[in-house]
Amino acid sequence: MFLRRILLWPFTLFYGAILLVRHSLYDGGLLESTRPTLPTIAIGNLALGGTGKTPMMELVLRSLEHLAPVATLSRGYGRRTTTIHEVMPDDDAARSGDEPLQVKRNFPAVRVFVGADRVLAIGVIQQAVPSVKAVVLDDALQHRALDAGLNILLTTFQQPFCDDTLLPAGTLRDLRSRAKGAQVVVVTKCPALPSAGEQLRWRERLGLLEGQQLFFSGISYDPPRSVGRPNLGSARDMSTYLPDRQALQEFRGELDALAGTQVLLITGIADPAPLLAHVKGLFATVEHAAFADHHPFSTSDLQQLAARYAKFAPGPQMLVTTEKDAVRLMPMIEGSPLQGFAFVVIPMRAVILNEPERFAALIRDHVATHPAHR
């Protein structure tokens, strides 16, 4: 790693110089930054992926569940379209992107939009939803053209931005100094709540200003949830598997009976390590088929997965994936070698570990006290 950073350092310096010029143009007013007239909450990071932006967006939406209507805006990474449009529950990932589609299906009442030009898209949202109370933006901290009212910066416990460096030597896509522009900083994927002393040391490590709020979040997993209704006869003796929605209530009690289940975990996310550790704690044998973040699954991929799945020894077997991956996988299952096998997702939630009520109140107060709602 050290040698790699040395070799790539000239390119990192060049990239850093470009960022400095860009931010200087915005800071000096030579490039315009627009503050929307409605409450906007931007969730983002300085590093490339894996900090948990979508779970944090869903946490913010749960904090605002008393309001209606609320909208979200994402770029829709991985989609094949470029227009600004509203995501519908029956869209596919190619049209809307996997994460926006996941959010729409988890929060049917929320108006979910995708669009790369955040300023233009905000205008589209205001026209489409004149009574919108707030817009939550995913991955918008780098978009200086939009000046969001509340910025939430995420950085992981395992690799905080203060210990990282710019691309390509490191994983940062923006300057560490940009953290100063966030009103809220959340250290994500914490194994446990740091002690009071450790929290103070985190503030020092991250170089936070006095007014910046610091929170720590962990990961909570819901019980495995059925996707589709597999044919139990071809589900490799999954006699304890419950294919209907009743399984959502009963599955946790079934886990002891499934302790001997052999699982093929399929992921196409930036950081599958926490989920892999969780799944290994649930089932006896776990194999992991890891793909790149937002991987567009192909027929060839499914054939290879089926071949790998067939190599398991006789006994209870199950395919497990994430909600995000299921959005891309499930439309391809019918007619594929994976059709009919027991298939579940394990939903993931972000949980604020220190003062969760204060975090929720901060979100709600930002919207309630905004001039647009006075």
Model pLDDT, residue 238: 31
Are 114 and 125 contacting, i.e. CB atoms less than 8 angstroms apart?
no
Cα gap 216→202, rounded to integer Å? 10
Q: For 4-23, write each residue's pLDDT tens digit.
A: 778 889 999 999 999 999 99
Q: Which two tokens stand for residue 118?
A: 């955040």
289 burial (CB, 10 Å; 0-12 / 13-18 / 19+) is: middle
User: What is the model's pTM?
Assistant: 0.89
Cα gap 306→107, rounded to integer Å? 32
How many other C-beta atoms lie within 10 A of the C-beta of residue 355? 13
Q: For 317-371, write each residue's pLDDT tens digit.
A: 889 999 999 999 999 998 999 888 888 999 999 999 999 999 999 999 999 999 8
Q: For 187-222, write each residue's pLDDT tens digit.
A: 999 999 999 999 999 999 999 999 999 999 999 999
Confidence class for position 242, pLDDT limits 50, 70, 90: very low
Cα gap 157→318, rounded to integer Å? 31
Q: For 30-57, write each residue's pLDDT tens digit.
A: 999 999 999 999 999 999 988 999 999 9
What domains can be seen in the chain, in order of their start residue?
2-67+133-221+351-373 (3.40.50), 225-346 (3.40.50)
